[in-house]
Every structure is written in C-alpha cells, then in structure tokens.
Amino acid sequence: MKQVLITTGATVTFQELMKSVLKKVFLNRLVEYKYDHMIVQYGKSEESIEFIRKLISELGNFNVKEYNNKDTGHNFEFLYDLKGILKVRCIQFDSLLIENFTSLSDLVISHAGTGSIIDTLRITQRDIRLIVMINEKLKDNHQSEIADAFKSLGVLESVGSNGDELLIAVDKIENDVVGEKCSRRRLPPSNGSIVERIVNEEMM
C-alpha cells in the first residue's frame, strides 16, 4: 500500500488545496507514482460537503459512494481508474487522524498550520514526507513564516496556494530517492522537558 493523506484545517476548508488535489492531472500523477490510496480530510463545515461533491463530479463519471460515519462524518469514496487504480476516500474530520491515517501514510500534504505540521513530523515509526501548502488568503496567521522556518530545518517542502507548484513538489519528492535534492531530514526531538526545569527553578 502506498498512501497519500491530504488534510485541511479542521474548521475551515482550504479550498485551493482541495481544488489542487481533486483534479485529474494530480490524480494521474499519483497513479504514475504507484499510489493506491488517497485520503482527504476536508473539514467539518456543512458547506464543504457540497464543495467536495462538486469537485468530484467534475472529475468524471465515477461510481461515488456517499455515507455517514460516526467517527469521520460525511464520506465520499470512489475508485479512480483512468490510468490505473487509486482508491480515493474523502472524510470530514477524524479526531484520531494521526493514528488512523497519518501514521499509515507515505506522503502528507497539509495546510501550513503548526498543528498539522507537528502532528506529521512527530511520527517517528515511519518515514513520511511532508508538503505544506500556504494558505495565502489568510492574513495574520503567519503560514508562510512557519513554512519557511520549517523548510530551513530541511524537514518539509512548501508550496504556494496553487496546484502547479504542488505537482512540482510531488515530482521533486518522488524522484529524489536518496534525499539529496530535497528536504527529508528528521525534526530534532522536542525539548519540552525544559519547562519542568524552569518551573522547578522558579519554585525554589
């Protein structure tokens, strides 16, 4: 199994990211790179269901199953089999996303929020590649600063809000087996226990 996970912010759907991945040229590229599972977490809002339904219908005539699941909300599921077979499943939101999906993926594409980035980079039992898409419409939430800072550590690739840049990043990662051209370093272990020492010092 080779799986890609695409995840948007939990509350607000990052529409550019969804448009970039629920698109023929992107799905074909995944098939080319031998991906057979694609999971999309598209967000909790009601409007997003209609938005995803529209994007899928524009892909062509697939036999799309829609169902409700108590853990993952409104699901869309179909087999993309134009140039090969890719099982696509879109879920609304899973509170156990890390355990159920992230940790089983080979590639994660997410928005450039710190929560999503850390969730992926802190998984150590599997070598997961990460691409973040900066939500350029959001002002004041520092996504590009965050993406740049992590990129300078060499732990992820970052792209702007457009599908072409995303395709280039996927190509770069898939053609870079030895990890020479692009970032695949591990994030250094977290140093949170320092807080314990600081609290201790302040209590003396």
Residue 21 parent element (H or E): helix 15-21
Contact flag: residue 45 with other proteins (CB under 8 A): no
Nearest distance in Å: CB 203, other proteins: 6
**C-beta closer to other proteins: residue 69 or 190:** 190
Sole window of 33-41, 56-64, 145-153, 162-170 interacting with other proteins (rule: CB under 8 A): 145-153
**C-beta closer to other proteins: residue 125 or 193:** 193
DSSP 3-state of 103: helix
**C-beta closer to other proteins: residue 118 or 168:** 118
- CA–CA separation, 32 vs 27, rounded Å? 9
Q: Is 133 exposed, middle or buried (0-12, 13-18, 19+ CB in 10 A)?
A: buried
DSSP E strands in the chain: the ranges are 3-7, 37-41, 65-69, 73-80, 86-91, 107-111, 129-133, 157-159
Contact flag: residue 70 with other proteins (CB under 8 A): no
Contact flag: residue 85 with other proteins (CB under 8 A): no
Find the binding residues for other proteins in span 112-131 (CB under 8 A).
113-115, 118
Nearest distance in Å: CB 152, other proteins: 10
DSSP 3-state of 172: helix
Nearest distance in Å: CB 83, other proteins: 39
**C-beta closer to other proteins: residue 94 or 106:** 94
Sole window of 23-31, 70-78, 102-110, 182-190 interacting with other proteins (rule: CB under 8 A): 182-190
For 145-168, give the DSSP string. Answer: HHHHHHHHTTS-EEE-SSHHHHHH
Chain CA centroid to CA 1, Å:
17
Count of chain residues binding other proteins (CB under 8 A): 28
> Which of 1, 177, 178, 195 is close enough to bind other proteins by CB under 8 A?
195
What's the angle, vertex CA 97, arms to CA 53 and CA 118, rounded to 5?
Answer: 115
What residues make contact with other proteins under the rule CB under 8 A? 10, 113-115, 118, 141-142, 145-146, 148-149, 187-188, 190-204
